[in-house]
Amino acid sequence: MTFNKILSWTAVVLWMALIFNMSSQVAEQSDQLSKGITKVIIKTVEKIAPKAEFNIDDLDHILRKNAHFFAYLVLGVLVTNALRRNGVKGYRSVLIAIGICVLYAASDEVHQIFVPGRGPGVKDVIIDSAGAIVGIGVYCVAGRLVKKNKIKIENKY
């Protein structure tokens, strides 16, 4: 196994560990973190638009769901990259990447059953899965664009 193959799977495992760590925070810790980020966003927006009014709970909820989506978008990119670097190509890599990400999202929600103040959510699995699918799609489209441009550049010379 080459260094790039090992590095690609290491990135997947480290990202999964980060997701697991964030999911391991008790409800109070998680709320403090997200509300702190929400308050920073509100203060920043108020500097630009001083008359803007926000409901911190609504904004916090949106921020949390976007964090789920983004975390799994990145996971989708990383898993697809690791599979492709290890020789799994085409639709097969897409289906396997979706399977890995959806299973990890589901297992993460099960894990939250054991975290004080947290619980599983089917909606979160759906949001996580949607993020992963978008990430996988972004990886595939970007790969095609790079390949297409590489062929154009090679044909010029």
| pLDDT above 70 for 152 | no
What pLDDT shows up at residue 157?
61
6-39 per-position pLDDT tens digit? 999 999 999 999 999 999 999 788 888 888 888 8
For the chain, give the longest Cα–Cα distance.
62
Q: Tally Cβ neighbours within 10 Å of residue 88.
A: 15
Task: Tell me if 133 sits within 8 A of 98, measured CB to CB.
Answer: yes
What pLDDT shows up at residue 36?
86
pLDDT, greater one: 64 or 77: 77
pLDDT, greater one: 56 or 37: 37
pLDDT, greater one: 149 or 90: 90
89-138 per-position pLDDT tens digit? 999 999 999 999 999 999 999 999 999 998 899 999 999 999 999 999 99
* Cβ within 8 Å of residue 139, ≥6 positions away: 76, 77, 80, 81
Torsion of CA 41, 44, 49, 50, to 10 degrees: 100
What pLDDT shows up at residue 57?
83
